[in-house]
Amino acid sequence: MSPSQESVFSEYKTETSQTSKLIKKFKETPFVPIGMGGFAAVVAYGLYKLKHRGDMKMSLHLIHMRVAAQGFAVGALTCGVLYSMFRDYVVKPKE
């Protein structure tokens, strides 16, 4: 490899660590990780409450948990899209 290719490769290698990618993605679209966390929280809550559902049928309990988890994920994605549109079209400085 030529020296210029090595410098580009080393620069690429240092900029693309998993942590830096995650932080960059979180700054660009903060609602996606929030949606994923909320989805995981609803699933964990549903699993916890599975034993204490009372006389409710298991299929009904699972349907409720699925709807809640999907609703949280879709809501977070919708908020993310609205935030992105607001940032691009309202706050964006005029060129």
The 3-class SS string of 29-47 reads: CCHHHHHHHHHHHHHHHHH
Provide the pLDDT for residue 58.
86
Q: What is the DSSP letter of 91?
A: S
- At 93 the pLDDT is 61
Q: Residue 10: its pLDDT value, please?
A: 58
Q: Three-state DSSP class for 25?
A: helix
| Tokens read off for 46 | 């549903």
**29 contacts 80 by C-beta, under 8 angstroms:** yes
Q: Which two tokens stand for residue 18?
A: 């998993």
Q: Give me the pLDDT at residue 95, please.
A: 61
pLDDT of residue 67: 92
Q: Which residue ranges in the chain fall short of pLDDT 50?
A: none
Strand, helix or coil for residue 29: coil
